[in-house]
Amino acid sequence: MYDYIIVGAGSAGCVLANRLSANPAKRVALIEAGPKDKSPLIHMPLGIALLANSKKLNWAFDTEPQEHLNGRKLFWPRGKTLGGSSSINAMVYIRGHKADYDYWASEAGTDVWGWDRMTELFKRIEDNHRFGATETHGRAASSP
Ligand SMILES: Cc1cc2nc3c(=O)[nH]c(=O)nc-3n(C[C@H](O)[C@H](O)[C@H](O)COP(=O)(O)OP(=O)(O)OC[C@H]3O[C@@H](n4cnc5c(N)ncnc54)[C@H](O)[C@@H]3O)c2cc1C
């Protein structure tokens, strides 16, 4: 018997499983449709070029024909492996604009999505080897 069953071991599912299983009293099942993330292509940055066409590690969807694209379909890759789309992504890291976060926070009527709070969270998940811990960047305490 499980306390939690998480369907999809992608970016969100893995974080959720990690957080929930931190409590040893809780039993967590994480279910993934794709295979393990053993392919070397996942672990080398340039692998994205080949993973984009993989049918084994990529759902490789096509959209419906798009009215505003003259009826064309778009290729819509999504990861199908442990790590989900983060295992086949381009490793680009860009934070949004301060004004957007603050706008969302004011629209939602809560500070949770505001820039100050989000910056704290961005720093917590960042392990910046170039700049180390600064006012805007995070460096995991456990890393060398
Ligand atoms: C090619 C590509 C390049 C990208 N490049 C970047 C980038 O450079 N920078 C960036 O920030 N973001 C990038 N992204 C976006 C980013 O990777 C995604 O936004 C993010 O990983 C989505 O996380 P998620 O948890 O919502 O979904 P996913 O990580 O896609 O996880 C969903 C998981 O659920 C599984 N699943 C689905 N259905 C079932 C089922 N019925 N049963 C069991 N498991 C199931 C899937 O196999 C998958 O593992 C890229 C995405 C792609 C596809």
Of 46, 62, 87, the one marking the end of a domain is 87
* Tens digit of pLDDT at every position of the chain (144 positions): 999 999 999 999 999 999 999 999 999 999 999 999 999 999 998 899 999 889 999 999 999 999 999 999 999 999 999 999 999 999 898 999 999 999 999 999 988 889 999 999 999 989 999 999 999 899 986 444
Domain count within the chain: 2
Residues 80 and 10 both lie in one domain: yes
Q: Whose CA is nearest to atom 13 of ligand 1?
A: 89
Closest atom of ligand 1 relative to the 59 alpha carbon: 47
**Is 29 touching ligand 1 by the criterion CB < 6 Å?**
no
Residues 15 and 49 both lie in one domain: yes
**Is 7 touching ligand 1 by the criterion CB < 6 Å?**
yes
Domain range for 22: 4-87
Q: Are 87 and 79 in contact (CB under 8 A)?
A: yes
Q: What is the pLDDT of residue 144?
A: 42
Residues 44 and 107 both lie in one domain: no
Residues 102 and 67 both lie in one domain: no
Closest atom of ligand 1 relative to the 12 alpha carbon: 25
What distance lies between CA 53 and its chain's CA centroid? Answer: 20
Query: Distance between CA atoms of 99 and 101, rounded to whole angstroms?
Result: 6
Q: Whose CA is nearest to atom 38 of ligand 1?
A: 8
